[in-house]
Amino acid sequence: MSALVSLLGLTRDFSTGSGFLKARRVMRAVDDVTLDIPRGSVTGVVGESGCGKSTLGRLVLRLISASSGSVTYDDTDLGTLSPGAMRKMRRNMQMVFQDPYSAIDPRYTIRRTLLEPYQVQRTPLPDAEARLQELMSMVGLNPDLAASYPHQLSGGQKQRVGIARALALNPSFLVLDEPTASLDVSIQAQIIALLEGLQRDLGLTYLFISHDLSLVRYFCDQVVVMYMGRVVEVLPKARDTPHHPYAQALTNSHFEPDPTRRKQVQILKGEIPSPFNLPPGCAFAARCPAATPLCHSDRPALESASSGHQIACHHPQG
Amino acid sequence: MALLTVSGLGVTIGTLSPLDDVSFEAHKGEILGLVGESGSGKSLTAMAVMGLLGRIGGRVSSGSILFDGQELVGLRDSSYRRLRGKRIALISQNPMTSLDPIVRIGAQIDQVSLLHLRLSKPAAKARSIDLMQQLRIPDAETLHRAYPHQLSGGMKQRIVIAMALAADPDLIIADEPTTALDVTIQAQIIQIMVDLVRARDLALILITHDMGVVAQACNRVVVLYAGRVAETNTTQAIFASPCHPYTASLIGCIPSRDQAEGTLLGIPGTVPGVLNYPKGCRFHPRCGDAMQVCARTVPPTTAQPTGSVACHLHEVVT
Amino acid sequence: MALRFLWGVVHTPRGGASAFVLMLVIACALFAPLIAPYGYALQNLPGSNTSPNALHWLGTDEFGRDLLSRIIHGARTSLTVAVTAISISVVVGMTFGAIAGYFGGMFDRVVTAVVDLTWSFPEILIALILIAIIGTGTESIIIAISIAYLAQFTRLTRAQVMALRQETYIEATVNLGAGHFHVIFRHLLPNAITPVIVAGMLAIGDAIILEATLGFFGLGAQPPIPSWGAMMSSGTAQIFIAPWIILFPGAAIALTVISINLFGDALIDALNIRSRLRDV
């Protein structure tokens, strides 16, 4: 299975506004991420807030530019494209956003929202109404809603509009940035089921960004665990047992909806380091139960452990 | 005997009745889960018990709230103030709204025991530091002098819990205490609360939308839907054999550990708002088992071996 | 929808009364020659400084000209100057504000610096300095007033655009492959325009006062074309023998400006945009 999207050494720094009497501080939001996203599969990115997963998603789509490193889509290095060529390229790679409430222009009807992609890409539609109906039924929306404004829809319906808009130009690659995080649980499952069906029917490739392990385990093929901007472990199958202590802590922190599988939570000592001032060694060392002096001084590199499984840890567990 | 007995509680705000006939009991040494999606009335229930409905222009329209033998409905404001913070404490979702940003956190915890327990200043400080240590806050002596902005979200939430505990309350209501936190931190806060309830023989009402948290922490569960109680039972019974179709569907919305792909369903339709509560059983438009009677009449609450359910499927035919 | 909305505003006591006065003033401005009983320059020296009577409802001035006719024609001058100046100001200010807020960088820094600088001077001072440079006359004061108010609309638009730029739908549109032109004109400006237009409406009231002030100093429309400010100025000499000459133009200014402010306020409440207009 070849890679549709390849990331090589992708890095992004953010700096706080340097100004009068203010020192400039640099934070590395995404640090040296190298990753292949196989065609027709779902790659999950898990991590906690501030781990850089959303920044990674935007870097992949070049919604923000990389400080260094490259993104290759279908053998084209996106960094070499002119702004105009990049705009054309965008029809192939779309995004579904976390917050459906602000993802649609409040002054646009659903109809106008779903036809905007064709206007933007200067793709005339022979039959706009037919395409509109097709898109809406594809995501399970009643076509009667076409004349509605977003404030007349529920959160779940808005997210369906967001998905339909992303699909309008027939892309092959979608970045899903926590697409269900702001929805009710019963609606979340609907949306995941919808995304799952679309992926299967249209042969899409997904980069699924989430903090929810149960969803990632259910939905994804390959899983990437991030901590403080770095990839700490790549699991070729979502249900594989992680070996990185942080990935294990994440798994152990996830509660199953099953009272017979209650967990004894280990209280992690230590605080999360400031992203502006990362320690020289492993970023997790201060909280890690297995940390040794080596972990505090040397940063572990991401290395292949077995086929497809990569880990960045001096002392992999279990 | 139950510490808190809520029976037939109804709440009105203006002409709306967002809460209807809610009954449950909270016992010492137990965690009661109040579960529901947005608009289910779970936070409103907490506000009713805390006597805070006036702040949002609401009032208790029916039923009673018995706390340790004392009727809270119709209680004078001055008497309520003596109860709040002293015997009943609230932990809110966003720790920042509970902490004063310009007062040292130690002083904020001290204040509670100064006010409610009439301790001397040194005694209050010693008590605060002891509480912080019980909540496994590292370096409590130093942090006692810190300001809220110097702490991480998880640490702030522990401070809020320390404040809630400072007056040695009998009942704590925690409204989505971990929703704003990362998973690893959430797990630790939940663990700390479980340990506290056992150690201090507290009654804790845990309001959440997360069935994983319920399964992990709660002894009993009240499932709310659209302002009514759908079902109440022990945690074991709720997960092993849910009686109400809504409970069963809600559990089914979270993919379990080894759920096969393509089997997640969700619940069709949308969560109704208070303006468009359906007639009869409020869940019937989304229910897979709905019968004709469900659309017409409100299902009565019928007793089950360890709990009760409000569903026509379980109605006792006489 | 917009019509029904305006209907709703007009149906409040405040909105209705102010809208009625404004319609009257606008009608005067549009149809002055038809409404006015006399010509604005028609002199009648023997009948100068007559007090209000059946023939001259508001009396006459020192040249015996009918005051009512001059006030009706004066509405035309005042409104033309104020509306034209503010329209120019809004269009140019929105363009500067949108470009500065959207692209940021050097242009934004320069614009912000200039805006902050002019913000610290009163509008009248800026207008006076400009008139000193470009000379007097109707066109001059239109240019002067429009530049005097430019900072306000640049600032307001810039703030709106910078806030809207963070909205997810802007990112979504960029991700569809939209260019800057599409993003600015199809999403940012349509969403930013409401508060700017309302602020513009309120500024017309201020501009009427500014125009009158400049007219009072003899810097505006040149005689015999009537302007409310110039009429008041000429009335100062007769203030003890013919106080109506200064009183009625003053009342016209006050009534118009108060109506504009009340109507603007009613709009702000109906649109629920008070917070978006604050602190800019």
Place of tokens 């929810």: A212
Higher pLDDT, C273 or C229: C229
Number of domains within chain C = 1
Distance separating alpha carbons of residues C56 and C38, to the nearest angstrom: 9
Instruction: Residues B4-87+169-262: name the CATH superfamily.
Output: P-loop containing nucleotide triphosphate hydrolases (3.40.50.300)
Nearest-by-CA chain C residue for A103: C169
Residue C125's domain comprises: 28-36+58-277
The angle at the Cα of B101, spanning B98 to B106, to the nearest 5 degrees, equals 80
Distance separating alpha carbons of residues C7 and A116, to the nearest angstrom: 32
Quote ipTM for the complex.
0.89
Q: What 3 state SS string does A82-115 have?
A: CHHHHHHHHHHEEEECCCCCCCCCCCCCHHHHHH
The mean pLDDT of C80-95, rounded to a whole number, is 95
Q: Cis peptide before C224, with omega less than 30 degrees from 0?
A: yes
Residues in A lying within 8 Å of C, measured between beta carbons: 61, 63, 86-91, 94-95, 97-99, 102-107, 116-117, 120-121, 162, 165, 169
What backbone torsions phi and psi does residue A50 show, to the nearest 5 degrees?
85, 5
Count how many residues are written for chain A. 318
Q: How far is A84 from chain B (nearest CA, A)?
A: 39
Sign of the dihedral defined by the CA atoms of residues C128, C132, C133, C137, in that order: positive
Are the beta carbons of B157 and B178 closer than 8 angstroms?
A: yes
Number of domains within chain A = 1
**C189-216 vs C228-235: helix axis angle to the nearest 10?**
20
Residue C95 has pLDDT above 80, yes or no: yes
Interface of A with B in 36-95 (CB under 8 A): 48-49
Distance separating alpha carbons of residues B9 and B98, to the nearest angstrom: 27
Is A165 within 8 Å of C176 when comparing Cβ atoms? Answer: yes
Q: Is beta strand B70-71 parallel, antiparallel or unpaired with respect to A93-96? A: unpaired
Residue A112's domain comprises: 3-13+27-242+302-311
Q: What is the pLDDT along chain A (318 residues), one digit of tens a residue?
A: 589 999 999 999 988 765 566 677 788 999 999 999 999 999 999 998 888 999 999 999 999 999 999 999 999 999 999 999 999 999 999 999 999 989 999 999 999 999 999 999 999 888 999 999 999 999 999 999 999 999 999 999 999 999 999 999 999 999 999 999 889 999 999 999 999 999 999 999 999 999 888 899 899 999 999 999 999 999 999 888 999 999 998 888 888 888 998 888 877 777 777 778 888 899 999 889 889 999 999 999 999 988 889 999 999 987
The mean pLDDT of C236-246, rounded to a whole number, is 86
Is A165 within 8 Å of C177 when comparing Cβ atoms? Answer: no
Cα distance between the two ends of chain C: 29
What residues are paired with C60 via a beta bridge? Answer: C66
Give chains near B: 3+ CB pairs under 8 A: A
DSSP A1-45: --EEEEEEEEEEEEEPPPBTTB---EEEEEEEEEEEEETTSEEEE
Residue A283 lies in a domain: no
Instruction: Say which CATH number the domain at C207 has.
Output: 1.10.3720.10
Distance separating alpha carbons of residues A46 and A214, to the nearest angstrom: 11
Tens digits of residue pLDDT in B218-229: 999 999 999 999
The mean pLDDT of C64-91, rounded to a whole number, is 92
Distances (CA, A) of A286 to A102, A274, B149: 38, 12, 21
Q: Is B301 helix (H, G, I), strand (E, B) or coil?
A: strand
Using DSSP, how many helices (H) and how many strands (E) does chain A show?
9, 12
Residue C50 lies in a domain: no
Residues of chain B with CATH 3.40.50.300: 4-87+169-262
Give chains near C: 3+ CB pairs under 8 A: A
**pLDDT recorded at residue A18:** 57
**pLDDT recorded at residue A138:** 93
Q: How far is A233 from chain C (nearest CA, A)?
A: 29
**pLDDT recorded at residue A265:** 82
Provide the pLDDT confidence category of residue B94 given band limits of 50, 70 and 90: confident
Residue C70 lies in a domain: yes
**pLDDT recorded at residue C164:** 93
**pLDDT recorded at residue B92:** 84
Asked if C touches A (at least 3 Cβ pairs < 8 angstroms), the answer reads: yes
